[in-house]
């Protein structure tokens, strides 16, 4: 049984989350506390497997509670976040402090009921997550982002279980390289780790991170202050340029399309795929069609199997694909499924992925 503690000063949210937990056959509600200080005492007496945590609470806000918890007894924490710019900033800070995931607090109770199953799945994923202590990275002035150097393509190679697989060579016709990245649970911090270590001279990067509306613009701005490449939220119809990472808007699909001399982006409101929008499957399938052997795919931490079949399509089209290894994942679900489907060329630890991308982009 997954033991869950709810910490929220809203009686409505406490009642709702308690009911979600109690309705699951594999979960047990340890308690629902409106006061974070009382919750700390409860955790000392009976440690839960997962904590759901509100951001704004009396006596101690959610960030202070989380910071103290991770110093004393690290546990998987899911943040309950408001759909505001301030709420998005606070949520991203919480993920830096070690929170595993977050749930956006909708405007109405009816919308809450629609999200009950998703919340239960997030709790299950959090229960099996690797919890690590993370030190927040302070915001800093955006680094200079010079234009990229010319890039030459790389070609696929057999599956490697090493961060130091050989560089690749291709005789394919010259075309602009493109990197596609998919991520879910734990992906916010994994993306920061990868993107912040890349040089400015990189191919364009297109990203599908499972995230609801209202958070991705803040996420992109935050990453942009930390990276030498430019990071932005993707816009429908915009041309794709090297040295830029484009993040799918929350709640919308992102696709890559060919255009004269390069690529452009499509952002759509098509139905969810694998229950996700944005979907990694949708993005990766479009990359397979548009870029073929000029593509590099990366599957980062996340629960479920979104993107696994499409990553296989990418590999069959000639792309070179990397999956994050189990030891460095918060949740190994998506990389595991991609590997099992046969779509992965190389399994690599998170700290080594940026270096591999740089080497692959520069190989000929």
Just list the catalytic residues.
184, 210, 306
CA dihedral of 137, 143, 148, 152, whole degrees rounded to 10: -20
Q: In the chain, where does the domain assigned CATH 3.40.50.180 lie?
A: 178-362
Give dist(CA 182, CA 263) in Å, integer. Answer: 19
Q: Does residue 169 surpass a pLDDT of 60?
A: no
Distance (Å, rounded) from C-alpha 262 to C-alpha 300? 26
pLDDT in tens, 116-125: 888 999 999 9
pLDDT band at residue 157 under the 50/70/90 scheme = very low
Pick the CATH number of 2-127 from 2.30.30.90, 3.40.50.2300, 3.40.50.10860, 3.40.50.300: 3.40.50.2300
- Kindly report, residue by residue over 295-335, the tens digit of the pLDDT: 999 999 999 999 999 999 999 999 999 999 999 999 999 99
Average pLDDT, integer, range 137-142: 48
What pLDDT does residue 189 have?
94
- Report the pLDDT value the prediction gives residue 160, as an integer from 0 to 100: 53
Q: Which two tokens stand for residue 336?
A: 């595991």
CA-based angle 183:189:190, to the nearest 5?
50
- Lowest average pLDDT, out of 22-36, 63-77, 163-177, 215-229, goes to 163-177
Q: What is the largest CA-CA distance in the chain?
A: 65
pLDDT, tens only, 42-95: 898 999 999 999 887 777 788 888 998 888 889 999 998 876 667 788 889 999
Q: Where in the chain is the domain with CATH 3.40.50.2300?
A: 2-127
**More confident call, 147 vs 124:** 124
Q: Which residue has the higher pLDDT, 163 or 100?
A: 100
- Homologous superfamily of domain range 178-362: Methylesterase CheB, C-terminal domain (3.40.50.180)
Q: What is the pLDDT of residue 73?
A: 86
- E-assigned strand segments in the chain: 2-7, 27-33, 50-54, 77-82, 101-105, 178-183, 205-209, 230-233, 244-247, 253-259, 262-268, 295-299, 320-324, 346-348
pLDDT of residue 137: 46
Average pLDDT, integer, range 283-298: 97
Confidence bin at 175 (pLDDT 50/70/90):
low
Confidence of residue 104 (pLDDT cuts 50, 70, 90): confident
At residue 101, does pLDDT exceed 80?
Answer: yes
CA distance 235 to 222: 18
Cis peptide upstream of residue 278 (ω within 30 degrees of 0): yes
């Amino acid at each position: 049984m997954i033991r869950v503690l709810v910490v929220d000063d809203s009686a409505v949210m406490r009642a709702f989350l308690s009911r979600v937990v109690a309705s699951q056959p594999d979960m047990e509600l340890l308690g629902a506390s409106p006061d974070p200080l009382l919750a700390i005492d409860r955790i000392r007496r009976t440690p839960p497997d997962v904590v759901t945590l509100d951001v704004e609470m009396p006596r101690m806000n959610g960030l202070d509670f989380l910071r103290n918890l991770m110093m004393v007894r690290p546990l998987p924490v899911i943040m309950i976040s408001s759909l505001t710019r301030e709420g998005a900033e606070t949520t991203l800070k919480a993920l830096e402090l070690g929170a595993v995931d977050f749930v956006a607090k909708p405007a109405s109770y009816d919308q809450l009921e629609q999200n009950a199953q998703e919340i239960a799945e997030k709790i299950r994923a959090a229960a099996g997550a690797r919890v690590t202590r993370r030190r927040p990275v302070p915001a800093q002035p955006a680094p200079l982002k010079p234009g990229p150097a010319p890039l030459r393509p790389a070609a696929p190679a057999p599956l490697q279980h090493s961060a130091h697989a050989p560089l690749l060579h291709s005789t394919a016709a010259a075309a602009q390289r493109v990197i596609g990245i998919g991520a879910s649970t734990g992906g916010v911090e994994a993306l920061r780790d990868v993107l912040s270590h890349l040089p400015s001279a990189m191919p364009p990067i297109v990203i599908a991170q499972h995230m609801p509306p209202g958070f991705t613009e803040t996420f992109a701005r935050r990453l942009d202050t930390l990276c030498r490449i430019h990071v932005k939220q993707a816009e429908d119809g915009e041309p794709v340029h090297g040295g830029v990472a484009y993040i799918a808007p929350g709640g919308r699909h992102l696709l890559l399309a060919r255009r004269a001399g390069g690529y452009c982006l499509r952002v759509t409101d098509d139905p969810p795929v694998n229950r996700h929008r944005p979907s990694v499957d949708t993005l990766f399938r479009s990359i397979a069609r548009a870029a073929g052997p000029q593509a590099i795919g990366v599957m980062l931490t996340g629960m479920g199997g979104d993107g696994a079949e499409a990553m296989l399509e990418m590999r069959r089209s000639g792309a070179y694909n990397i999956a994050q290894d189990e030891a460095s994942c918060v949740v190994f679900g998506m990389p595991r499924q991609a590997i099992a489907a046969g779509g992965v060329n190389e399994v690599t630890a998170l700290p080594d992925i940026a270096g591999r991308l740089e080497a692959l982009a520069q190989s000929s």
